[in-house]
Amino acid sequence: MERRDVEAYAGLVSLENMIRDALANTELAWLDEEQIKQKMRPVSIAYQIAKMKHDWQVRKSGEPYFHAHVKEVAKISLIELPNPTIKRVLVGLLHDILEDTDITLQTIENLFGKNIAHDVDLLTKQDYEYYFGEEDKAKRESYTPTRQKELLNDPEFQKKIANNRSQKYFATMVQEWSEDVIRDKIADRLHNLRSSTDLSQEKIQKSIEETEKYFLPLLEKNPIFALGVTLMKEDIRKLKRYVKNEQTKEEIAESFDRILYQIHEK
């Protein structure tokens, strides 16, 4: 067995052990060992499929996307948020698979059932064109192919569509998502916030603003998400301190460079 296969197997065993510990007094409480293994089988399948399909992806840090994000989201769902279940772990492992890979919704449904497929589908953001307003669609259709391409590459237009995307995505979350799926999104957002220090300060600020503007106000309306709100606010506070410290470092470096330049000029 190759080293990467050994590491993958060890990661799966570690996750299964976490599930056993977390659900020992709830979902797995009255099951014998054979029944527990049956319960774990979909976890093994989801883990291996997600690892294989995300294998080509890496994060900004250079870490493999599956281990650095996907698996961590499943662990947050299992360990940090209330009322964990094996279904929520499955959705955590599969939450990005439709958006980032060639696997189909029908395949997810065939392997894990309609409920899991439905929840994974809800968590999947659509292509940008889905978030065009009527005015933007009409404008684009009136342009030549070359002008359409220029429009799509225009930073201001991209920013507008990104805002539309966030508004529509979170509005859909309120209208159509179950509490379980919102819980899955909390786990995803928590990990994205915690791991965003590898991004530029501009992208970190964008993530903070989107969370504070769209996500937190929706969560605060329902007391069932109180723990998720508390964790998210704490992560945002840490991120803001990080950004402030980085800005201070940059200012000190710039001041030092100016002093050196002035000394050199004299």
Beta bridge partners of 188: none
Structure confidence by residue, pLDDT tens digits, 14-32: 999 999 999 999 999 999 9
Nearest to 161 by CA among 208, 128, 123, 202: 128
Given a contact cutoff of 8 angstroms between Cβ atoms, the answer to whether 88 and 183 are in contact is: yes
Structure tokens at 170: 């979170």
Beta carbons within 10 angstroms of residue 153's beta carbon: 9
Q: What is the mean pLDDT of the chain?
A: 84
Question: Does residue 262 sit in helix, strand or coil?
Answer: helix
What residue ranges define each of the domains in the chain, with the CATH number in brackets? Answer: 1-124 (1.10.3210.10)
36-40, 206-210, 226-230, 247-251: the lowest-pLDDT one = 247-251
35-39, 78-82, 196-200: the lowest-pLDDT one = 196-200
Output the pLDDT for position 147: 62
Q: Among residues of the chain, what percentage have pLDDT more than 70?
A: 75
Q: Is the pLDDT of residue 246 over 70?
A: yes
